[in-house]
Amino acid sequence: MSRMDLKEEEILREFVKRGILKGTFFMDVGIGTDDYWGVIDAVFVENLEPEAEPRIMKSKWWRKLQDDIKRRTKRILVIEVKETLNYEALGQIMVYRYLFPKVWGFPTVDSAILCKKSIKTLEEICRANDVLVFRI
């Protein structure tokens, strides 16, 4: 798994700019076990700084702010960004949602896919699996 390409990063930046979710977005957060390694496109943290405008931070801050995040946040959302919603995005986000609490020690985590285009059937499958879909 790799980091976001420029198109995906533009989609994330546009989403953050619109202010749909208020909080902090950490880009390219690593997640791994003994036999798996991946990079989550973005991790959204709600209420880290409630008064602040939505913002994007580099993944290095993710590790540095762990204790503060665990103490102060109410919601963690792992986000996969794709230009078009597809099976790959759905599979990736389900893996990340499963691994995130185990690797990072958060009790619960929500998941979302951020895209420009989507397919109705895949959106229905996402809803059935508690994966939010945000179209920009």
* Domain at 48, CATH number: 3.40.1350
Q: What pLDDT, on the 0 to 100 scale, is given for residue 1?
A: 46
Q: Can you name the residues that pair with 135 across neighbouring β-strands? A: 115
As a dihedral over the C-alpha atoms of residue 82, residue 88, residue 91, residue 97, rounded to 10 degrees, the angle is: -30
- Does the residue 119 lie in any domain? yes
Structural domain boundaries, residue 91:
6-135
Hey, which bits of 14-129 come out as E strands? 23-32, 37-46, 55-57, 75-81, 110-115
Each residue's pLDDT tens digit, 52-109: 566 677 666 776 677 777 777 778 999 999 999 999 999 999 999 999 999 888 888 9
- Does the residue 110 lie in any domain? yes
Return the residue matching tokens 């919603």: 85
- Does the residue 1 lie in any domain? no
- Does the residue 49 lie in any domain? yes
- Does the residue 97 lie in any domain? yes
Q: What pLDDT, on the 0 to 100 scale, is given for residue 54?
A: 66
How many separate domains does the chain show?
A: 1
- Does the residue 76 lie in any domain? yes
- Does the residue 63 lie in any domain? yes
Each residue's pLDDT tens digit, 10-63: 999 999 999 889 888 988 888 988 999 999 999 998 866 655 566 677 666 776
Return the residue matching tokens 């989609």: 11
DSSP 5: -
DSSP 41: E
Residue pair 44/23 in contact by the 8 Å Cβ criterion: yes
Q: What pLDDT, on the 0 to 100 scale, is given for residue 120?
A: 96
Strand order in the sheet with 55-57: 55-57, 23-32, 37-46, 75-81, 110-115, 131-135
Q: What pLDDT, on the 0 to 100 scale, is given for residue 53?
A: 62
Q: What pLDDT, on the 0 to 100 scale, is given for residue 111?
A: 98
- Does the residue 126 lie in any domain? yes
State how far the Cα of 120 lies from the Cα of 100, in Å rounded to an integer: 27
Answer with the residue of higher pLDDT: 110 or 55.
110
